[in-house]
């Protein structure tokens, strides 16, 4: 049985400068794999006013509820970095340039044109470290983190991130930084977050086990002036390749991408349900070795390649909706495709991975079409 909880913040106990602020609370509860997350629980709300305070609150070892009611601009706070790079996708003004991070250009694009000098904002390279038992909430549409992402790594657990916007992380440059990184963590819920203008991945689950993660009701906005496909659509969207991950991807609006939205591999079980994909100029799903993907009740609108050819992992796209009943306790919901390519996977081995787990509910695709694009992301709770 899924337990619904509401975390109320005791603003009356906060500093006098916060007097008169209305209570802010986590909206709803996580569905799916991270359904037992509680974040900072009933900790007294803190309202950072500087980038230094935000970094301190997020990274300490106390349970915290952190409320953002302003923009936190990290650009320029750590100076700049100058590096060589390459131009694998061309030198046109709409193309991203790649930083030669860890000799990436040297090892993987040796024939690409060399870029002798790239200067970029150093704050974007690594996100803000987040400690265990944290809730990070935005107030209205005010909670913006600019120029730096979030980094949930090194065995931290029990994190809620809701109703914020992460944006402008060296968008011209691949390897300029990620929006939200999870690597070696557990019980993480990312909800009603918007990501935009990111250099590399909007959300990335690294190679270490990221445990139970729910990514729900977010807007992954790939519109950009610089992309690896040189067409205004971001290529590096969602990257799920952990060594022992269970990911629920529900109710997200994923648009103006051209690839890897999501890429799934490693040893990841992904339940992709009721997401709205499109428009896109390339592929959404990239299913690599070790992936188990159940995709149901999703809407593809203007997506030429819902899944990249040559999938090596297991994909079940619920054409046989009744096959789900024994594994998840209900029939699956069929996906919907409009002006899109083929999306078909028949590997029912995927379903055996869900036995006994908490599985998100699924709505009819008509509800997804009518509500997800207008309700996902910041400011819609």
Query: Confidence class of residue 179 from pLDDT cuts 50, 70 and 90?
Result: very high
Residue 355 has pLDDT above 90, yes or no: no
Residue 375 has pLDDT above 70, yes or no: yes
Mean pLDDT of 42-60: 98
Query: Confidence class of residue 92 from pLDDT cuts 50, 70 and 90?
Result: very high
**Backbone angles phi and psi of 19, in degrees to 5:** -60, 135
Query: For the domain bounded by 11-72+121-375, which CATH number is listed?
Result: 2.160.20.10
Mean pLDDT of 125-152: 98
Closest CA to 281 of 313, 304, 263, 265: 304
Residue 356 has what pLDDT?
Answer: 83
Residue 4 has pLDDT above 70, yes or no: no
Q: Can you read off the two tokens belonging to residue 363?
A: 């709505």
Residue 346 and residue 366: Cα distance in Å, rounded?
23
Residue 25 and residue 3: Cα distance in Å, rounded?
17
Q: What string of DSSP letters covers 93-153?
A: TTB-EEE-GGGHHHHH-TTSPEEEEEEEEGGGSSPEE--SSEEEEE-TT--EEES--EEEE
Contact 214, 237 (CB under 8 A): no
Mean pLDDT of 289-306: 98
Query: SS3 for 243?
Result: coil
Residue 24 has what pLDDT?
Answer: 81
Q: Is the bond preceding 262 in cis, omega lying within 30 degrees of 0?
A: yes
The listed range with the strongest mean pLDDT (8-12, 31-35, 325-329) is: 31-35
Residue 11 has pLDDT above 90, yes or no: no
> What Rg, from alpha-carbon coordinates, does the chain have?
20
Segment holding 35, helix H or strand E: none
Distances in Å between the Cα of 218 and the Cα atoms of 2, 129, 153, 161, 342 are 21, 21, 21, 11, 25
Residue 18 has what pLDDT?
Answer: 47
Residue 64 and residue 45: Cα distance in Å, rounded?
7
Query: SS3 for 312?
Result: coil
Residue 73 has pLDDT above 80, yes or no: yes
Residues identified as active-site: 260
Cα dihedral: 328, 206, 173, 147 (round 10): 90
Q: Can you read off the two tokens belonging to residue 353?
A: 């991975």
Query: Confidence class of residue 1 from pLDDT cuts 50, 70 and 90?
Result: very low
Give the burial class of 54: count Cβ atoms within 10 A of its Cβ; 0-12 exposed, 13-18 middle, 19 or more buried: buried
pLDDT tens digits, residue range 182-218? 999 999 999 999 999 999 999 999 999 999 999 999 9
Residue 24 and residue 67: Cα distance in Å, rounded?
8
Q: Which residue has the tokens 């991807």?
A: 249
Distances in Å between the Cα of 375 and the Cα atoms of 209, 261, 276 are 30, 19, 11
**Backbone angles phi and psi of 345, in degrees to 5:** -150, 130
**Percent of the chain beyond pLDDT 70?**
94
Query: Confidence class of residue 22 from pLDDT cuts 50, 70 and 90?
Result: low
Closest CA to 192 of 166, 219, 167, 213: 219
Contact 354, 330 (CB under 8 A): no
Q: Can you read off the two tokens belonging to residue 99?
A: 């930083």
Residue 93 has pLDDT above 70, yes or no: yes
User: What is the pTM (predicted TM-score) of this model?
Assistant: 0.94
* Average of per-residue pLDDT values in the chain: 94
Residue 21 has what pLDDT?
Answer: 58
Residue 14 has pLDDT above 80, yes or no: no
Q: Which residues contact 17 (CB under 8 A, 6 or more apart)?
A: none
């Amino acid at each position: 049985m899924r337990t619904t909880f509401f975390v109320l913040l005791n603003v009356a106990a906060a500093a006098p400068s916060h007097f008169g602020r209305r209570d802010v609370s986590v909206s709803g509860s996580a569905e799916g794999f991270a359904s037992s997350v509680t974040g900072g629980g009933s900790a007294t709300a803190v309202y950072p006013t500087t980038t230094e305070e935000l970094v301190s609150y997020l990274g300490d070892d106390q349970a915290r509820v952190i409320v953002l009611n302003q923009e936190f601009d990290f650009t320029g706070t750590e100076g700049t970095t100058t590096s060589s790079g390459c131009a694998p996708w061309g030198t046109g003004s709409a193309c991203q340039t790649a930083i030669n991070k860890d000799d990436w250009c040297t090892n993987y694009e040796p024939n690409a044109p060399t870029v002798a000098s790239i200067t970029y904002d150093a704050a974007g390279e690594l996100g803000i470290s987040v400690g265990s038992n944290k809730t990070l909430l935005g107030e209205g549409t005010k909670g913006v983190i600019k120029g730096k992402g979030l980094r949930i790594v090194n065995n931290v657990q029990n994190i809620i991130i809701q109703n914020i916007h992460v944006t402008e992380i060296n968008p011209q440059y691949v390897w300029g930084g990620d929006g939200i990184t999870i690597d070696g963590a557990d019980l993480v819920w990312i909800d009603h977050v918007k990501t935009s203008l990111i250099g590399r991945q909007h959300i990335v689950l690294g190679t270490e086990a990221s445990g139970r993660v729910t990514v729900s009701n977010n807007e992954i906005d790939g519109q950009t002036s610089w992309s690896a496909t040189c067409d205004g659509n971001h290529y590096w969207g969602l990257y799920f390749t952990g060594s022992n991950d269970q990911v629920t991807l529900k109710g997200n609006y994923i648009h103006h991408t051209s690839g890897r939205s999501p890429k799934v591999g490693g040893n990841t079980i992904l339940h992709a349900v009721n997401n709205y994909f499109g428009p896109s100029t390339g592929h959404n799903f990239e299913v690599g070795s070790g992936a188990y993907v159940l995709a149901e009740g999703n809407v593809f609108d203007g997506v030429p390649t819902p899944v990249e050819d040559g999938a090596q992992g297991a994909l079940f796209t619920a054409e046989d909706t009744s096959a789900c009943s024994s594994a998840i306790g209900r029939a699956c919901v069929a996906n919907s495709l409009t002006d899109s390519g083929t999306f078909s996977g028949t590997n029912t081995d995927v379903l055996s991975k869900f036995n006994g787990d908490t599985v998100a509910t699924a709505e009819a695709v008509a509800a997804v079409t009518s509500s997800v694009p207008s309700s996902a992301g910041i400011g819609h709770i």
